[in-house]
Amino acid sequence: MLVALATAGVASAQNTPNFDFASSLRFKGGIGVIPVTGVAANGTVNLNVVRGVSPAGPWRIAALKAEVGTDGHIRVEGRGLLLAAGNGIGTNGGASVHASLFCGPAATATEHDSTLTGVALAADGDFRIDDVLTPAPPTPCDTPVLLIRNGGGVWFATGIPDLEEGRY
């Protein structure tokens, strides 16, 4: 019984990213993109544009954890970023991703991008980004929004700010 519990604990720990550098900002959990926020009475489609970034088609993400260091170093681990509609549903769509952090209110937010052009999604939609944001974000980053994007610039998922530890 103890062996079973120890094995389960190790497996669980392996599924949860563990970052070990001082960070100014953390994200825990993710939300996949829902591309449309509604349709007006006249038939006009309202796209889910966030901080000026257009949405991709429907995607889902099972888990996301990210940390941004005070020097702009960013580490992101995502699990299960997969298409949520169409004939490619349940696949990674051959996509590569990078991270963009926005600081400040929606109308005046500043964008800070990872320098990598893209990290390929694994077949199961898992990915890791270990990079530096340019320019380095301010400390603190007010009203942070972390978007996971492709090379074309559309967003696939967003991180949920981790408020549990009193960091924002």
pLDDT tens digits, 102-145: 999 999 999 999 987 799 999 999 999 999 999 999 989 999 99
pLDDT of residue 116: 79
pLDDT of residue 21: 52
CB burial class (10 A; 0-12, 13-18, 19+) of residue 149?
Answer: buried
* H or E element in which residue 15 lies: helix 2-15
Compute the average pLDDT of residues 26-44. 96
The overall average pLDDT reported for the chain is: 87
pLDDT at 66 over 60: yes
Question: pLDDT confidence of 165, banded at 50, 70, 90?
Answer: low
Asked whether the bond before 135 is cis by omega within 30 degrees of 0, the reply is: yes
CB burial class (10 A; 0-12, 13-18, 19+) of residue 133?
Answer: buried
Dihedral of alpha carbons 125, 128, 134, 139, sign: positive
How far apart are the C-alpha atoms of 162 and 168, rounded to whole Å? Answer: 7
pLDDT of residue 37: 95
The model's pTM: 0.83
- Residues 100 and 113 sit within 8 Å (Cβ to Cβ): yes
**Beta strands 155-161 and 96-103: pairing type?**
unpaired
